[in-house]
Chain A
Amino acid sequence: MKSITNLSKVLLPVIVASVAFTGCKPGKAVDSVDGDASKKVYVAPGKYDELYMFASGGFSGQVAAYGLPSGRLLKVIPVFSQNAENGYGYSEETKPMLNTSHGFVPWDDAHHTQLSKTNGQDDGRWLFINGNNTPRIARLNLATFKTEEIIELPNVGGNHASPYCTENTEYIVGNTRFSIPMDADQDVPIDSYKENFKGAATFIKVDKDKGTMNIAFQLIVPGYNYDLARAGKGVSKDWMFFSTYNSEQANTLLEVNASQRDKDFIMAVNWKKAEALVAQGKGKRVPARYAHNVWDEKTHSATSTIKKDVLMLDVKDYPGLVYYIPCPKSPHGADVSPDGEFFVASGKLAAVIPVFSFKKMLAAIEKQDFEDQRADMGIPVLKYASVLEGEVEKPGLGPLHTEFDDQGYAYTSMFVSSEIVKWKVSTREIIDRIPTYYSIGHLSVPGGDNKKPYGKYVVALNKITKDRYLPTGPELTQSAQLIDITGNKMKLLLDFPTIGEPHYAQSIAADLITKNQVKFFKLEENHHPYAVKSEKETRVVRKGNRVDIYMTAIRSHLAPDNIEGIKLGDEVYFHLTNLEQDWDVPHGFAVKGANTAELLVMPGETATLKWTPDRTAIFPFYCTDFCSALHQEMAGYIRVSPANSNVPISYKIGNNPLAKK
């Protein structure tokens, strides 16, 4: 008996100790969901959201429009990737939008959305987005939510530091994530990186009224990797700030070799000065090949032009154009405070967030306060301490990107520690931090890059969701999280899944967009060469083996709906005009065996599907958008006869008194 009591004397402490070990584990960060979250994000049926959020689709190549605070997906706008759903990139009219100097490239890796600005404020006219892979910038019209223009960037390896705009959208910039040799088509050893590879800071002039983009000039800069950029505003409005990494100029195993220097650079570009130099006729036109694709709303068609040269200025030759500011380790964001006085760099491998002063930068330039040993590449390197206003200390791990609210606070995303840190711009004191789920990349405050930010929310754009949603096999959704920033403490309101990767987003007050909305296209303004304005004009025309079908759609029939005389070997073009002149009445078009896509045609618009029949048969065609009570009846037949048949071209539609006008 006694031995049992003794045994328990021995065992008890062991058990207690084991429990204590597991019990002494530090607690997890408490869930920071706002108690009133459901009220704050609930948008009653029939009511509108307060803001539009335009998020890039990352590897989906598209842009998605969401409503905030509800997180509801409103529309996926096709930009760089083909979209079978509405025929974008498949229809004859839209195919030229995806043309490049490499030919037809029907996909891209879309990263940063940028709203156009007037006086440093989002004006709701256009949205720009970069294609990182085949370097491009697209401009979307926010009245129609259509991609209107895509311009390719020559001499750029990956268009990542893009498409940031100046205070009045004078310029949109792009700069390379992968430096490459300038002058098209150079064949050099990869090991000759240091001598042959360069960056090309591209400034694209944006037409004030139409938004049309044209490359004004390219600044040839050292062969580093250029990551992000922001324009100055107010006092600093004439400058553009780019972040750089790989100032080591590594060309292999970059994850190690491009992470060696304690400091990379912020590159400050005086674009106003560059503009003046160009006006004086400086720089030289260098041969290049790049596509410029423009959508015409009147012809409902795009044209693609291949441009042949570009104006280059080597920054070495123009002192005072570009300065480097040392910046702790592999900076990602280079973000300018609302007053334009401070620029914040987030070194993703750095232990602090440096806040630079524009005033001090100008003073350092004035005093020629340069570092000697690093005046490499012919560009003056300012002294870190001379430009530094101060550092945000112990912010967290992996600072990536900073945006600002209307109350003097900044919000920085922390990739590694997966959190957002709120800090005061004037004192650089940390106010609050909130976990994100998981691995936040960019963040977005509505109007966060404006002179007067809208504030109210910050949206975390996360790369990983793991256990946050119902699982969907190995491929999980990525997500955004809406966080309330009206109080001192940030409060999580909502998680919502996104398309592709929500790489970056910008939000804007809804009324700035809704007031310009186009509800339908006016038929009388439709100048498409194959448009027909009434059913009377519908016809089928053969020219050799090309057959053009001038077809109309109106509830609830396609005209003509019986077509004969097509022969095997013909190329058939269905030109469908939607005769409706009312809001929200698109018609779809689909034909059996079409190895392209279907069409979705807006009221007043004309779109063309090319179809090459593969067999003699009777093929049905029909409307794919459920348009009306008799949508199922909105169909027809096309007869394909053998190549040598004598069936004449004929077309008809049954007697319809309404269509006689």
Chain B
Amino acid sequence: MISAYFLPLWQIILEAPQYPEGLGMKIWLNNITGNIDQINGLNHYIGMKHIIVEDFVEFKVLPYVFAFIIVLGLYSALSGRLTWLKIWFSLLVLFAIVGLTDFYLWEYDYGHNLDPMAAIKVPGMNYQPPLIGYKQLLNFLAGSLPDIGGIIVVIAALMAGGVMVYEMRLKRRIYEKAI
């Protein structure tokens, strides 16, 4: 999970006929990298807000939240106690839910809250990117997928979950055997 500090967690991919090579953004624990300037440049036609890394409170908080989760994870592992594992896993799930909800709300605002002065206005059209998967937005095919760092975190979380379930079953079997 420490890999989240040096690997991107999430990626947004844009493809259009004029961009055969594609445009992309990579979301890190504390940053967004990639073709942000090009994407901002394109989005101004339809009145979407500019993406400015400094405007995201998330990037200031996330490294600490994540550090806390890692430390707690290490503590629960060292403690060897199932209860701690359960607490930690629940926290991780909660973090994922909060994180994705926050991401969704940002996407909603980003896709719906358009400048009324925009040059191109398509009636009934919003430009909310998909939460996960692909979606056609005007001439762009937008994709939103976990990146390598995100995948590793998911794997780690699922492993923790797996271990938890395994341990719980083991405990129950021991308990059943004892009876």
Contact = CB atoms under 8 A, between A and B. Distances in A.
Interface of A: 3, 6-7, 9-11, 14, 18, 21-22, 24-26, 255-257, 259-260, 349, 351, 397, 416-419, 435-439, 464, 466-467
A351 B18 contact: no
Interface string B132-169: 11101011010101100001001100110110001000
Contacts of B155: 11, 14
B18 A397 contact: no
Interface in B1-54: 16-18, 20-21
21 contacts: A6-B166, A10-B158, A10-B162, A14-B154, A14-B155, A18-B151, A24-B133, A255-B119, A256-B117, A256-B118, A259-B119, A349-B119, A397-B138, A416-B120, A417-B138, A418-B16, A418-B18, A438-B17, A438-B20, A466-B20, A467-B20
Interface string B91-123: 000000000000000000000000001111111
Nearest to B159: A10
A439 B143 CA distance: 22
A437 B136 contact: no
Contact of A10 (B20, B136, B151, B161): B161
Contacts of A467: 20-21
Contacts of B132: 21
A24 B133 CA distance: 7
Contacts of A10: 158-159, 161-162
Contact of A6 (B21, B120, B162): B162
Nearest to B117: A256
Contacts of A416: 120, 138-139
Contacts of B161: 10
A18 B146 contact: yes
B162 A7 contact: yes
A439 B19 CA distance: 10
Given A25-B143, A437-B17, 12 more contacts: A10-B159, A10-B161, A14-B151, A14-B154, A21-B133, A22-B145, A259-B119, A351-B122, A416-B139, A417-B139, A439-B17, A467-B21
Given A25-B134, A397-B138, A435-B17, A260 B117 contact: yes
Contacts of A436: 17
A107 B150 CA distance: 55
Contact of A397 (B20, B118, B139): B139
A349 B119 CA distance: 7
B51 to A, nearest CB: 19
Nearest to A262: B121
A417 to B, nearest CB: 4
Contacts of A351: 122-123
A351 to B, nearest CB: 6
A418 B17 contact: yes
A26 B136 contact: yes
Contacts of B143: 25
A474 B123 CA distance: 37
A26 B145 contact: no
B166 to A, nearest CB: 5
Contacts of A21: 132-133, 145-146
A533 B139 CA distance: 64
A478 to B, nearest CB: 13
Contacts of B18: 418, 438-439, 464, 466
A436 B154 CA distance: 41
Contacts of A9: 162
A24 B134 CA distance: 8
Contacts of A349: 119-121
B130 to A, nearest CB: 11
A552 B139 CA distance: 61
A164 to B, nearest CB: 26
A22 B121 CA distance: 31
Nearest to B166: A6
B8 to A, nearest CB: 14
Contacts of B16: 418
Nearest to B151: A18
Contact of B166 (A3, A257, A435): A3
Given A7-B159, A11-B155, A25-B143, A259 B120 contact: yes
What 7 pairs between A and B have smallest CB-CB spacing?
A418-B17, A259-B119, A10-B162, A438-B18, A417-B139, A439-B18, A10-B158
Interface string B49-62: 00000000000000
B123 to A, nearest CB: 7
Of the candidates B17, B139, B151, the one having the most CB atoms from chain A within 10 angstroms of its own CB is: B17
A26 B119 contact: no
A300 B119 CA distance: 50
B17 A11 contact: no
A25 B154 CA distance: 21
Contacts of B162: 6-7, 9-10
B166 A26 contact: no
A419 B138 CA distance: 13
A228 B132 CA distance: 44
Contacts of B159: 7, 10-11
Nearest to A3: B166
A466 B21 contact: yes
A417 B132 CA distance: 24
A157 B85 CA distance: 74
A304 B132 CA distance: 67
A318 to B, nearest CB: 35
Contacts of A25: 134, 141, 143
A231 B154 CA distance: 64
B103 to A, nearest CB: 15
B1 to A, nearest CB: 15
Contacts of B141: 25-26
A481 to B, nearest CB: 13
A255 B18 CA distance: 20
A23 to B, nearest CB: 11
Nearest to B136: A26
B143 to A, nearest CB: 6
A284 to B, nearest CB: 39
A418 B20 contact: no
Nearest to B148: A18
Contacts of B20: 438, 466-467
A446 to B, nearest CB: 25
Contacts of B117: 256-257, 260
Nearest to A9: B162
A260 to B, nearest CB: 7
A454 B20 CA distance: 34
Nearest to B123: A351
Interface string B63-75: 0000000000000
A477 to B, nearest CB: 16
A11 B134 contact: no
Contacts of A22: 145
Contacts of A14: 151, 154-155, 158
Contacts of B146: 18, 21
Nearest to B133: A24
Nearest to B141: A26
A47 B86 CA distance: 82
A260 B115 CA distance: 11
Contacts of A418: 16-18, 139
Contact of B158 (A11, A26, A260, A435): A11
Contacts of A255: 119
A260 B119 CA distance: 7
B45 to A, nearest CB: 8
Contacts of B136: 26
Contacts of B121: 349
